[in-house]
Amino acid sequence: MKAVQTFHPTRNEFLDSVLRLEPQVAAFDCDGTLWSGDAGERFFDWEIKRGIVPPAVGVAMRARYIEYKAGRVSEDEMCGEMVTMHKGMTEAVMMKAAVEFMEHSFPGQIFPEMQELVRRLRDNGCDIWAVSSSNEWVIRAGMRQFGIAEDHILAAKVPIENGVISDRLPCIPSGPGKPKALREVVKRDIDAAFGNSRWDIDMLAMAKHAFAVNANPDLEVIARQRGWTIYFPDGTRQ
């Protein structure tokens, strides 16, 4: 397939190119797109070190994560187990831990231009959705800095029964699960979508306008082929 010439905008060009479209509905991946790094993965390590989960659970999940990195556990399985490992704990405890982590152990990671973009889109009346395979508690804590409402977050979550976390996991918003979740909940066309990895390709492909932000090499190849805009936030371009 012949590569298409892809637009590589500056910060202001990027903001203007999105705002000029006047999107009515926009979907954003979170880890690597709105901020640098994987908050879900780092929270997983942080909470085990802090003893948020029982030691035996931490040991078992560390072993499971090694299997995931070796390719013997799927992305959906690992993301799901990073949530269900909290079975029996209260949501209040997890939400408190997530807020502490995002405010004190994950500082300075937000891309300022992405924060500005979300704010300006929101001010223009755009319906904004955050879509992530990380646990919902961390994403909810992170979205406080973007003004995205909790009922507009589609992330890995389990039913809460009388304030206690269950282990009944629904669909994980990863890969094909992202457009699936958007279609089931939003029920509107997605005008603009933003993502950074191959797990976002299906969501980007469903949108009228796709933006590969801080793109991993695998996504950058696809973005070039499909003519999607590629934008590297200030300080991230290699």
Q: How far apart are CA 188 and CA 202, in angstroms?
A: 16
* Residue 96 in domain: yes
State pLDDT tens for residues 65-106. Answer: 999 999 999 999 999 999 999 999 999 999 999 999 999 998
* Residue 3 in domain: no
* Residue 2 in domain: no
Report residues of the chain scoring pLDDT below 70: 1-7, 170, 235-238
pLDDT at position 6: 54
Q: Are 37 and 31 in contact (CB under 8 A)?
A: yes
- pTM for the model stands at 0.93
Q: How far apart are CA 230 and CA 228, in angstroms?
A: 6
Q: Which domain covers residue 49, as residue numbers?
A: 11-231
The domain spanning residue 224 has which CATH number?
Answer: 3.40.50.1000
pLDDT at position 237: 58
* Residue 6 in domain: no
* Residue 186 in domain: yes
* Residue 4 in domain: no
Count of structural domains, the chain: 1
* Residue 167 in domain: yes
